[in-house]
Amino acid sequence: MSSLIVELGSRSYPIYIDSGLLSNSPITSHIKGNKVCIVTNAVVADLYLASLQQQLTNYDVDVVVLADGEQEKSLANFERIMAHLLSKLHGRDSTLIALGGGVIGDITGFAAACYQRGIDFIQVPTTLLAQVDSSVGGKTAVNHPLGKNMIGAFHQPKAVLIDVQSLVSLPKREFAAGMAEVIKYGILGDVEFFAWLEANKVAIKQGNSSVLATMIERCCQNKANIVAQDETESGVRALLNLGHTFAHAIEAEQGYGKWLHGEAVAAGMVQAANLAVVLGFITSSQVKRIEQLLRYFDLPTEGPSTMDIESYLKHMVRDKKNLNGKIRLIIPTSIGKTEIFDNISREQLQQVI
């Protein structure tokens, strides 16, 4: 089992990566009280809930099972979790466990941040996207029809347990969506990792467990390094949103769940890269290299044909990164380096949308 630490002083926590953690892990060493609530969805519950519960036989455990899908990351389901915790008499020493993908991790973390002004939670991510990105760093939220992740809080987990074996049951489309976030780390700040992905793409797509474990650990380490520098996204952490300003606009405009988050991020990263060409930072051949890797993993490299500049802008003006009314975009200045820009004109955006 490999492990690494997200260094945040008193809020530091471990990330464990191995095969079989859903049935045998150090999870109990991160639970302080006797009461535990597992939040999961119907698909994941059928696959992994019983195994996780077997590790918790000495605790008073109850379960909230949500439906599957991005549309379930809602205020209505947040209220449902709150009502459940209250009805089951959970206290400040209770622990929430998020068993599932990014939707479950985000809404469970937000519930933990808010219930009695903050209780412990543990991330047990079962999708690639959640394992390499959303389970690490303490960003928690729910969606609103007017904007994705606009209602939330920073609340760090007590631990993250990543079972590589769970990827075996992941649908191909979901695996591909996770690869968008993997590739993002290479583009935004790790050119050697980008080259490694190109060299190992066949083994990754075939599901080689040791290669996947190496890949996931590299992503988690990259994210942990950035979060340790900037926990609340006041500076360098914003770089992790490469492609996300475009992506969130796509998701909100199309309706949550029609495009998977990773699919929208893939298209958004290409739009950001094309903007870098317009600004003179990278060449079209570098964009082609990015597009080829995304396409290998069956990801889109263009946004929806039905969306025009206005369709994007009405959502982009609400982006959380914006300051002083200016849209802030993360743009690659090379493969392996990104910067934040807030002086992009409508005409420049028009060229890449």
Give the SS3 label for residue 215: helix
Q: For the residues 179-186, what does the mean pLDDT come to? A: 98
Answer yes or no: is pLDDT of 320 > 80.
no
Catalytic residue list contains 241: yes
Q: At 30, which CATH number?
A: 3.40.50.1970
Q: Are 70 and 180 members of one domain?
A: no
- Band (pLDDT 50/70/90 cuts) for residue 332 is very high
pLDDT score, position 105? 98
Residues 83 and 124 in one domain: yes
Tell me, yes or no, whether 127 and 229 share the same domain.
no
Res. 234 pLDDT band, cuts 50 70 90: confident
Residues 108 and 191 in one domain: no
- Is residue 155 part of the annotated active site? The answer reads no
Q: Is 117 marked active-site?
A: yes
Is residue 307 within 8 A of residue 253, CB to CB? The reply is yes
Domain edge (last residue) among 151, 169, 187: 169
* % of the chain with per-residue pLDDT over 90: 89
The verdict on whether 223 is a catalytic residue reads: yes
Q: What is the pLDDT of residues 295-308, one digit of tens each?
A: 999 999 999 999 99
> Is pLDDT above 70 for 324?
no
Q: What is the pLDDT of residues 244-259, one digit of tens each?
A: 999 999 998 998 889 9
pTM for the structure as a whole: 0.93
Residue 319 has pLDDT above 80, yes or no: no
Nearest to 158 by CA among 33, 57, 52: 33
- Annotation says 233 is catalytic: yes
User: Looking at residue 292, what is its pLDDT?
Assistant: 98
Q: Are residues 133 and 87 in the same domain?
A: yes
Indicate if 18 and 156 belong to the same structural domain. yes
**Is 288 part of the annotated catalytic residue set?**
no
Do 324 and 203 fall into the same domain? yes
Q: How many domains does the chain have?
A: 2
Catalytic residue among 184, 244, 289, 321: 244
Q: Is 84 noted as a catalytic residue in this protein? A: no
Which range of residues forms the domain containing residue 305? 172-352
Same domain, 160 and 181: no
Same domain? For 165 and 197 the reply is no
Active site residue 181: yes
**44 CB neighbour count, 10 Å cutoff:** 22
DSSP SS3 for 6: strand
From the list 41, 143, 222, 241, the catalytic residue is: 241
Give residue 5's pLDDT.
97
DSSP result, 42-91: HHHIIIIIHHHHHTTTTSEEEEEEEPSSGGGSSHHHHHHHHHHHHHTT--
